[in-house]
Amino acid sequence: MSIWIAKDTRVIVQGITGGQGRFHTEQMLSYGTKVTGGVTPGKGGTECLSLPVFDTVREAKEKVGADASVIFVPPRFAASSIMEAVDAGIPLIVCITEGIPVQDMMTVKRYMEGKQSRLIGPNCPGLITPDGCKIGILPGSICKKGHVGVISRSGTLTYEAVDQLTKLGIGQSTAVGIGGDPIRGTGFTDVLKAFDEDPDTLAVVMIGEIGGSGEEEAAEWIKANMKKPVAAFIAGRTAPPGRRMGHAGAITSGNTGTAEGKIAALRSCGAVVAETPDRIGEALLMAAKRAGILEELRR
Amino acid sequence: MNIHEYQASNLFREYGIPVPEGYLAETPEEAREASKMLGGRCVIKAQIHSGGRGKAGGVKLASDPDEAARLAEGLLGSILVTKQTGSKGKTVRKLFVTECADIEREFYFSITMDIRKECPVLIFSSDGGTEIEELAKTAPEKIGRMHIDPVFGLMDYQLRYMLDRLDLEKDIRDRITDIALRAYRLFREKDCSLVEINPLIADRNGNVTAVDAKINFDDNALFRHPDIRLLRDELEEEEREREAGRYDLNYIQLDGDIACMVNGAGLAMATMDIIKAFGGSPANFLDVGGSATKEKIEGAFRILLSDPNVKGIFVNIFGGIMKCDIIAGGIVDAAKSTSIEVPLVVRLTGTHEEEGKKILAGSGLAIISAEDLADGARKICRLVEEARK
């Protein structure tokens, strides 16, 4: 088991004929993801990597079936691509695109109110269920099938965490990159809820960073609801205030969004917070040990 | 992206928001001319990308053209240290010379994004002039907040709710409402992340004027605003940050001596954190991105090495989709062409890791290889510690 995606998830790629779209479609296919087709307006009727290309998401869904869509289109078209996928009733939409205007995302989120689709990202690496399905750009080779759920706002820091777990012999149920933008489809709390309900996930690693209030809200949710142990790391302790650290969402203003505030919030809800990024795996071991599930995790 | 007050003031004028008459001056002579055109008495305001200019001595009152020229001479080329500039301060290169406002009441007005609620928020206070952060601490009840639905926009009834509570004449209320609607249109049409007027003033005759103007724009949206992109003042940016922009690198200057080169913003922040935790001090934040080409890595090395404080370099790459052997080749080429004389520690993990390490080892360069994040951070901190002695 896992959350949201599994071996039988059918995926279409929006922007399949672009450089990034094509490359990562190849990677997804070789990982074993069931990619059924792609969408590029104006290129309907052609093929890409032996997959059918359609003009619209609706047509792709009707003809080849899609449980999920992954978006690799440039920032200026990304908002409309997400809305098209929502309109076509795609249940899971993963937007990899970096650099979407904030006001565009604001409109997208307003549009999605009351709709059934779940959006992951934008500006995210996607998600992966080891030995089953990967949607996005996470490297499959470092993952190992297992029982730890991973949630992160950052791409390569997710790899770092997953790699540390794998090297400790701890596998993952699903790893989800929720993205580094200030306005995003799925937040920490949504993923925590899903992991808490997933019988195959026994513990969770959560990787946050400065800026916003997602980690603090997640800590409140953990305190009130979470039944499974949580280990965490927050990046950006040494970041200068008021500067945007690469990710559009990674910026502190005044006393809000600081690493110290987030670390304190997570500690107060019982999470084991790693002091330095090299000890994320160890933090998880400690959290699992405290909960008495270390042996089960290794299975 | 930030712009100067005089540029923001021009945008306000374009949108029909009343602003004082004003002229840009880059020399004392121009300030004298501006003062003449304004009838002598005028305000001279230093144009730097920072708030808190008044307190730092960047805003002066002149009573005639001669005084205007004298004050301008003192301000131009001087360095202003404000709460927001850091201790290095910023050099004043431009002045905005405006007419004096006859202030009866001062208000605070701004529109910004409420990220938590995912919509714009209008903030208004009848106590203008002071910093809003200060007011939020001392008298939070005096600040009104109004969330704006992104689809339906700002409604005049919302402003009535907010302004009716204040003791204002109808004329002034109507004028503030009009300004708010125009400012919101500007906020949406130009993809602003902040439109701030502090203070917005009312004079004895009930005229309402934006005496100050501050606008920030969403960098991600600049592709659809070529007119706004032209307002960028490169001289306001740190030299290395400007250079990094040319290579499409994300670089932020810090004051330490260990340079870092990392792929991914989160890992780059984490790398700074671990250097600090191991007793070192990072010289920068640098994210080379997901598709670091040889040119990019070379450019990155040049920028890092141009910082005279740098006593060592830590390259931390997690090759996911990017393959380690290709990155290693880029590092070797770049290291050869930039002649690095400080210790260079490289941590490479991920796809084709072994091949990558072989390339580094066989390069003939004094590259110190690290096993993992902690090993790399420890090595660079120790080497720089030795170099400091």
In tens, the pLDDT along B137-153 reads 888 888 889 999 999 99
Q: Which of A247, A249, A257, A280 is flagged as catalytic?
A: A247
- Tell the burial category of A193 from Cβ atoms under 10 Å away from its Cβ (0-12, 13-18, 19+): middle
For residue A1, what pLDDT is reported? Answer: 65
Rounded Cα distance between B324 and A89, Å, is 39
Tell me whether residues A139 and B321 touch, CB distance under 8 A: yes
The two most distant CA atoms of chain A are separated, in Å, by 57
Q: Phi/psi class of residue A45: alpha, beta or left (left: φ > 0; alpha: ψ in -120 to 50)? A: left
Q: How confident is the model at residue B22, as a pLDDT?
A: 97
Residue of higher predicted confidence among B331 and A89:
A89
- CB-CB contact of A281 with A172 (8 Å): no
- Give the pLDDT score at B373: 95
Q: Is it the case that residue B34 has pLDDT exceeding 70?
A: yes
- Cα A40 from Cα A77, distance rounded (Å): 11
Q: How far is A78 from chain B (nearest CA, A)?
A: 12
Interface touch A160/B254, C-beta < 8 Å: no
What is the reported pLDDT for B352? 82
Give the percent of chain A with pLDDT over 90. Answer: 91
Q: Is the peptide bond before B199 cis (omega within 30 degrees of 0)?
A: yes
* pLDDT score of A240: 87
- pLDDT band, very low/low/confident/very high, at B388 (cuts 50, 70, 90): confident
Mean confidence (pLDDT) of chain B: 92
The pLDDT-based confidence of B247 (bands split at 50, 70, 90) is: confident
Cα torsion B46, B50, B52, B53 to 10°: value is -10
Q: Which among B125, B136, B53 is positioned nearest to B96, based on CA atoms?
A: B53
Contacts of B321 in chain A (CB under 8 A): 23-24, 27, 137, 139
| Contact by Cβ (8 Å): A149, A188 | no
Instruction: Tell me, yes or no, if B196 is annotated catalytic.
Output: yes
**Using CA atoms, how far apart are residues A10 and B206, in angstroms rounded to an integer?**
65
- What is the mean predicted confidence (pLDDT) over B195-203? 95
Average the pLDDT over B260-273 and give the result. Answer: 95
Read off the tokens for B360.
């580094």
The answer, yes or no, to whether residue A21 has pLDDT greater than 70, is yes
Using an 8 Å Cβ cutoff, are B307 and B338 in contact?
no
Residue B140's pLDDT is 82
* Catalytic-labelled residue, pool B6, B108, B184, B251: B108
The label of the residue with tokens 């076509």 reads A88
Residues A183, A190: Cα–Cα separation, whole Å: 14
SS3 sequence of chain A: CCCCCCCCCEEEEECCCCHHHHHHHHHHHHHCCEEEEEECCCCCCCEECCEEEECCHHHHHHHHCCCEEEECCCHHHHHHHHHHHHHCCCCEEEECCCCCCHHHHHHHHHHHCCCCCEEECCCCCEEEECCCEEEECCCHHHCCEEEEEEEECCHHHHHHHHHHHHHCCCCEEEEEECCCCCCCCCCHHHHHHHHHHCCCCCEEEEEEECCCCHHHHHHHHHHHHCCCCEEEEEECCCCCCCCCCCCCCCCCECCECCHHHHHHHHHHCCCEECCCHHHHHHHHHHHHHHHCCHHHHHC
Q: Per mean pLDDT, which range of A237-241, A284-288, B183-187 is the poorest?
A: A237-241
B32: how many CB neighbours lie within 10 A of its CB? Answer: 22
Kindly tell me if the per-residue pLDDT of B325 is higher than 90: no
Neighbours of B304 (CB within 10 A): 24
Stretch B264-278: mean pLDDT? 96
Question: What residues of A are in contact with residue B274 (Cβ under 8 Å)?
Answer: 276-278
Q: HSE (CB half, 13 Å, CA atoms) of B314?
A: 36
Q: Which residues of B touch A249 (CB under 8 A)?
A: 115
Contact B104, B189 (CB under 8 A): no
CA torsion, points B287, A278, B371, B274, in degrees to nearest 10? 60
Mean pLDDT, residues B101-105: 91
Please list every residue in chain B whose beta carbon sits closer than 8 Å to the beta carbon of residue A76: 223-224
Q: How far apart are CA A70 and CA A120, in angstroms?
A: 9
* Three-state DSSP state, B379: helix
Whether pTM > 0.80 for this model: the answer is yes
A232 - beta bridge partners? A206, A273
Contacts of A29 (CB under 8 A, 6+ apart): A35, A49
* ipTM, interface predicted TM-score of the complex: 0.93
B337 pLDDT above the threshold of 90: no
pLDDT digits (tens, 9 = 90+) for A184-243: 999 999 999 999 999 999 999 999 999 999 999 999 999 999 999 999 999 999 998 888
Q: What is the pLDDT of residue B77?
A: 95
For residue B313, give the nearest of B334, B333, B283, B358 by alpha carbon.
Answer: B283
What mean pLDDT value characterizes chain A? 95
The full length of chain A comes to 299
Mutate to test the interface with A, among B1, B2, B110, B115 (most CBs of A within 10 A): B115
Mean of pLDDT values over A102-124: 96
Nearest CA in chain B to A138: B320
Mean pLDDT to the nearest integer, A128-144: 94
Question: Nearest 5 degrees, angle CA A70-CA A71-CA A74?
Answer: 165
Mean pLDDT of A255-272: 93
CB contact under 8 A, A141 and B351: yes
Please answer yes or no on whether B285 and A107 come within 8 Å at the CB atom: no
Across A70-76, average pLDDT: 97
pLDDT at B84 over 80: no
- Asked if the C-beta of B268 comes within 8 angstroms of chain A's C-beta atoms, the answer is yes
